[in-house]
C-alpha cells in the first residue's frame, strides 16, 4: 500500500496557554506540527516542559512575529516551500491583549498592535497559504493510516466579540463593534487606532480584533466551498489563568479565575482548551464550514459542543465583505 505524506498542521502562538496545550493532542493523533512564534527559543523551551524528545522532534519551529507583515510574507514563503502538498490545517491562535495601554502600541507597519497581531498577521498568513491548503494532497497519513482529509482553517474567537452572548455585551470599556470601519477606510495609521476611527480604547481594540477574526471565518466560508476547505472558529471557554491576562492589574489576575470558577462557572483549564482547539481543527464530526463552535459560557461536566449563534456584527454580509476588502487593502493584497 502506498504511504501518503504525513499531514501537517500549522499553529500560531505556542509559547504558553491554549496554543502550548494544543500541541500534545495534535501530535498524539499523528499530525506533524509547524509552530509559529516570535521566538523559537522560548517556544522550544516551553514545549520541552510538556513534551518528550520524540514529540518535540515532530515539531518544526518557525519564527514569525505576526505584528510584522514582512515577516509573515517571508515565513509563508518558507512554509509553502517546505510543506507543499502536506499542509492541511491552519490554526490561528496567537493573540495579544493589553487593556491598560494609554496610547496604542504600533506594529512595524504602523497599525494599532492588537489588530495587527490578532487580525492582520493572521489574515495575511491565511491568504498567502490558502491555495496551498486548497490544493494539498487529498489523502494524508496519520499514525500509519491513510485518510482523506479536507483542509481546514480554525481561528480562536471569543465570547466578548459576539454581541448575542452576555459576555459580548459587557460595556467596559465597550462591546466589540467595527462601526462603519472609518478607521480602516482611512488607512488605519496614526493618529487612527480603532477600526471605527474613534477614540483609542485598548480593551475594545482587542475585542474588535477578535471580531475581525470571526468575520474572517464567515467570509472564508462564503468564498470557498466546504468541499475545498472547512473554516471554523471556536470559543474554548474562559481560560482565566492564561498569560493572555498578563497585562491586567494583579488584583484582576487574582480574582478573575476565582470569579470564573465559582461564580460564572465559565472557567476551563489550558489543557482542556487545547484539546478543544485540536478537536475543532481535526475531528471528522466537526466538518461544517462557517460554524463558531462553543461549549457554552457555563462549563458542564459533560458538555457537548454546539454551533453558537452569531451577532449581526459578525454575519452581516455587507459589513463582513467590507471588513474583508479593507483588510486585503491594509495588508497589501489589493
Ligand atoms: N484565555 C482566554 O480566556 C481565552 C478565551 C477565548 C479565546 N481566547 C483566545 O485563545 C488564544 C490563545 O490565548 P491564550 O489565553 O493561550 O493566551 P497566551 O497564553 O497569552 O498565548 C498567546 C500566544 O500568542 C503569542 N503571540 C503574541 N504576540 C505575538 C506575535 N506578535 N507574533 C507571534 N505570536 C505572538 C504569544 O507568544 P509570546 O510568548 O511571544 O508573547 C503566545 O504564544 C487567543 O487567540 C485568545 O484570543 C482566549
Q: Given this model, what pLDDT does residue 299 score? A: 81
CATH of residue 68: 3.40.50.720
282 falls within a domain: yes
For the chain, what is the domain count?
Answer: 1
Q: Given this model, what pLDDT does residue 221 score? A: 98
| Rounded Cα gap, residues 306 and 287, in angstroms | 12
Whole-model pTM: value is: 0.98
Q: Mark the ranges of the chain whose per-residue pLDDT is less than 50.
A: none
Residue 260's CB: how many other CB atoms inside 10 A? 20
200 falls within a domain: yes
User: Is the shortest distance between the CB of 65 and ligand 1 below 6 Å?
Assistant: yes
Average pLDDT along the chain: 96
Residue environment code for 166-185, b if the CB has 16+ CB neighbours within 10 A, otherwise e:
ebbeeeeebbbbbeebebbb
Residue 216 domain boundaries: 8-330
| 242, 261, 270, best to mutate for ligand 1 pocket (most atoms within 8 Å of CB) | 242
Q: Given this model, what pLDDT does residue 2 score? A: 63
- Confirm if 39 and 65 have CB atoms less than 8 A apart: no
Please tell me whether the peptide bond between 191 and the residue prior to it is cis, using omega within 30 degrees of 0.
yes
23 falls within a domain: yes
323 falls within a domain: yes
1 falls within a domain: no
Please tell me whether the peptide bond between 236 and the residue prior to it is cis, using omega within 30 degrees of 0.
no
| Rounded Cα gap, residues 88 and 156, in angstroms | 17
What distance in angstroms lies between residue 148's CA and the mean position of ligand 1's atoms? Answer: 31
156 CA: nearest ligand 1 atom: 45
What distance in angstroms lies between residue 3's CA and the mean position of ligand 1's atoms? Answer: 36
Q: Given this model, what pLDDT does residue 298 score? A: 83
| Rounded Cα gap, residues 319 and 316, in angstroms | 5
Q: Given this model, what pLDDT does residue 199 score? A: 97
Q: Given this model, what pLDDT does residue 134 score? A: 98
In terms of DSSP bridges, do strands 139-142 and 145-148 run parallel, antiparallel, or are they unpaired? antiparallel
| Rounded Cα gap, residues 302 and 234, in angstroms | 18
Amino acid at each position: 500500500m502506498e504511504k501518503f505524506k504525513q499531514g501537517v498542521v500549522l499553529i500560531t502562538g505556542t509559547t504558553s496557554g491554549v496554543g502550548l496545550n494544543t500541541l500534545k493532542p495534535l501530535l498524539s493523533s499523528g499530525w506533524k506540527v509547524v509552530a509559529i512564534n516570535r521566538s523559537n527559543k522560548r517556544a522550544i523551551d516551553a514545549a520541552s516542559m510538556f513534551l518528550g524528545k520524540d514529540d518535540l522532534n515532530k515539531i518544526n519551529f518557525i519564527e514569525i512575529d505576526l505584528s510584522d507583515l514582512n515577516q509573515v510574507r517571508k515565513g509563508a514563503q518558507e512554509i509553502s516551500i517546505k510543506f507543499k502538498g502536506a499542509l492541511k490545517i491552519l490554526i490561528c491562535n496567537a493573540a495579544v491583549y493589553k487593556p491598560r495601554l494609554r496610547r496604542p502600541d504600533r506594529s512595524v507597519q504602523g497599525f494599532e498592535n492588537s489588530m495587527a497581531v490578532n487580525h492582520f498577521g493572521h489574515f495575511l498568513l491565511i491568504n498567502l497559504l490558502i491555495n496551498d491548503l486548497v490544493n494539498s494532497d487529498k489523502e494524508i497519513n496519520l499514525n500509519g493510516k491513510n485518510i482523506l482529509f479536507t483542509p481546514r482553517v480554525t481561528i480562536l474567537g471569543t465570547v466578548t466579540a459576539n454581541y448575542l452572548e452576555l459576555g459580548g455585551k459587557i460595556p467596559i470599556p465597550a462591546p466589540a463593534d467595527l462601526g462603519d470601519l472609518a478607521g480602516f477606510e482611512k488607512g488605519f495609521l496614526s493618529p487612527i487606532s480603532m477600526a471605527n476611527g474613534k477614540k483609542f480604547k485598548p480593551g475594545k481594540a482587542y475585542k474588535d480584533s477578535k471580531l475581525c477574526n470571526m468575520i474572517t471565518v464567515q467570509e472564508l466560508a462564503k468564498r470557498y466551498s466546504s468541499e475545498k476547505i472547512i473554516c471554523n472558529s471556536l470559543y474554548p471557554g474562559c481560560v482565566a489563568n492564561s498569560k493572555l491576562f498578563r497585562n491586567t492589574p494583579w488584583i484582576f489576575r487574582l480574582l478573575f479565575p476565582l470569579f470564573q470558577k465559582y461564580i460564572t462557572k465559565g472557567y476551563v483549564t489550558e489543557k482542556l482548551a487545547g484539546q478543544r482547539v485540536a478537536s475543532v481543527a481535526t475531528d471528522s464530526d466537526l466538518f461544517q464550514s462557517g460554524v463558531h463552535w462553543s461549549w457554552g459560557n457555563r462549563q458542564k461536566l459533560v458538555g457537548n459542543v454546539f454551533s453558537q449563534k452569531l451577532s449581526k456584527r459578525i454575519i452581516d454580509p455587507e459589513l463582513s465583505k467590507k471588513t474583508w476588502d479593507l483588510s486585503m487593502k491594509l495588508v497589501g493584497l489589493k
